[in-house]
Amino acid sequence: MVDTYLMPTARAVYDLVGSNAEKNVIDRITAYLKNHNGKATKREIMHTIKIKSADFKAYLDTMKFIILIMSIFTIILIYKIDGSHHLIND
């Protein structure tokens, strides 16, 4: 199931999210946060990146989705490398 469904589906979703025009804005938001030690107000980011409040929320939602997909990839890779059915070894 991992090889036949989860990996291809997660990859397809990630590629779709990463391929559209939002990626550039998300990259700019990420760069801004990195340059400010991960701390910034919504207003500071919106002003610097020049985006509206509704758009900002949509970009944050997309960023959360990307993090979720990457977390799934990480779990799948751990599962495949470890070979066990346990995510945490005792």
What is the per-residue pLDDT across 13-72, written as a single tens digit (0 to 9) for each? 666 665 556 678 888 898 899 999 989 999 999 999 999 999 999 888 888 888 888 788
> Could you tell me the end-to-end alpha-carbon distance of the chain, in angstroms, rounded to an integer?
25
- pLDDT: is 30 or 8 the higher one? 30
Cα separations (Å) of 33 from 18, 42, 65, 68? Answer: 19, 11, 18, 19
Contact criterion met (CB below 8 Å) for 19 and 26: no
Model's pTM, two decimal places? 0.58
